[in-house]
Structure formats: structure tokens, C-alpha cells
Chain A
Amino acid sequence: MYKHLIGKQSEKVENQVERGAVAAFARSIGDPHPLYVDKEYGKYSKYQNNIAPPTFPRTFSYGTIPGLHLPVAGLIHGEQTFEYKRPLLIGEEIYCHSKVENYREKRAASGHLGFLTLINIGEDMRENNIFTSKVVLVLTEQAREGEDYYDSNHRA
């Protein structure tokens, strides 16, 4: 049902690695380490700044992939990967976009399942890749038959 979208991508969206957002995120995963949340500590750290936890790109916007609508119900987050060139630094601008990498269907005991693979990319202002994340979403029968959809400005 998403096969025709393979290769489709969103326009780049500017995101900031915002200090308050990083602190709230670090606390929400029970990890308020001073390297993430204490400005003075960051200044004298290896990075001469604070950094963001590795799963922080979950909070970024990746733009809208034309034609991609994700169902509200029956969507399972199956797999997640992050590949980094370096950690994200507080205050920097990251330009993010997303593309449909793959879609395939499989018959399982629980019915027909769809596997949608999305790639999310974060670059600096010079278009150097900083991170790439891969998301595999599993769509159950319920998802495939559902009537309510999110727009594709998904986050992951």
C-alpha cells in the first residue's frame, strides 16, 4: 500500500538543538546528566558545550513526504537505528529530511503485515551528514483498514 512511495522524500526542515528541549528530553528518559543539562559543565567538557542524548533526534521535524499518511491505530514501532558522525551540540541548527526507503508486505500468523522503512537524515548548514536514523514501522491489518490517518510529518 506504500510501495509507490519508495524513494519519495520531504523538503529539508531547519531544527535547533534547543537547550530547554534537551534538558526536558534528558529528564524524560531519567538521564539529567550535567553533560546534557549543566551549561558550566558543558563549557569545560571535551565538547566545550553541552550535547544532546543520542535518541534526541526523535524530537525533530523532518518535513512532510508527499502522499504518505500513517494510520493512527495498529502502527507498531518495530526497529530503530541511529548512526552518528558526532554528538549533537546545543544551539546548533540541524537540517532534517526524511525519505521512504522501503515497503514490503508479509503474511504472518496475526494476518497481513506491512513493513515501512523510513530514513531520517540530519545535516549541518554545510550539508555534512551528522546523523542518519532508520525507522521500521509495522502496519497491522487494523492499520491497513483504519480510516484515521496522521499526516506524514511524523517524528522519529
Chain B
Amino acid sequence: MTAITELNVNECISSVTLSPVSRLDLIKYAGASGDFNPIHTIDEEAEKAGLPGIIAHGMWTMGNISKLFTPYMEQGFIQSFSTRFTGMVFLDDVLTLTAELADKKEEKLIFTVKAVKQDETTAAKGTVIFNLY
């Protein structure tokens, strides 16, 4: 694990590639988050909503992105975390999560974060401002 304080601009913290998205992942997230919108868990409901199949909660993807920073949470904290959900995530999609240091301003480390699918399309993109203690 690279020390987060030693990163240079344009360098990344360790990326993570998730297992293919499973229905159980989304059922667990629905239960833990309280978001029971059935387009995330029940095929017929997703189809009724005009989708080809169930889609992952955007917040599931965002929650997964945050774990890139968890190992550093005693050196600082996430002061700001913003994401745009730019593409839908379906069952069996494989997401790779990345965080690249875009800028440094004293105690603030500004990262560009992304969740990219196996076909190279972006499912979520945003910014994390990590504030060092």
C-alpha cells in the first residue's frame, strides 16, 4: 500500500476490480441501505420500467468506490465525495474502481474517481477531496 501522502499528481492509489455484479450483491445492498426500489432486484419490475434487466443501485457503485480510501481513513477523511452516474450497471458487469490524484492543495488531496465497466464505458465518475489530518 502506497502512503497516500507520498502520491504525486497523476498517480493512482491501488485500484480494485470487483467480482461480476450478482443479484445477491444488490439484494444485500437493498437490505443494508433500505433502498428497495425493485428495479434493482426484480427482473419483471426492471422490464416494466423499460430496462433490459435489473440495474445496480448508483449508491452501491459509489459505496464501492469509497473503499479505495478506507485504508487511509486514519490519516485523513473524505471531506467531499461527488459522483455522476453516467452509465447503467447490469448483472455480470465487471467494474474497475480507480482514484487518481488530480491536485494537491496543502492538506487537501483531490482525486478523480471512476468506475469503469469491462467494455471500457464509464458507469460513474466523480471527485473525492481527501483532507489530511
Which A residues contact B (CB, under 8 angstroms)? Answer: 21, 24-25, 27-31, 33, 35-36, 45-47, 51, 53-55, 58-59, 72-84, 86-87, 134, 142, 155-156
Contacts and interface: CB of A to CB of B under 8 A. Distances in A.
Interface in B69-84: 69-71, 73-74, 77-84
The A contact surface, by secondary structure, is mixed
A1 B109 CA distance: 40
B32 A82 contact: no
Contacts of B15: none
Interface of B: 18, 25, 28-29, 31-35, 37, 39, 48-50, 57-60, 62-64, 66-67, 69-71, 73-74, 77-85, 133
30 contacts: A24-B32, A25-B33, A28-B25, A29-B29, A29-B66, A31-B63, A31-B66, A33-B70, A35-B70, A35-B73, A36-B70, A53-B63, A54-B69, A54-B78, A54-B81, A55-B63, A55-B66, A58-B33, A58-B59, A59-B32, A77-B85, A78-B84, A79-B83, A80-B58, A80-B59, A83-B80, A84-B77, A84-B79, A142-B49, A156-B59
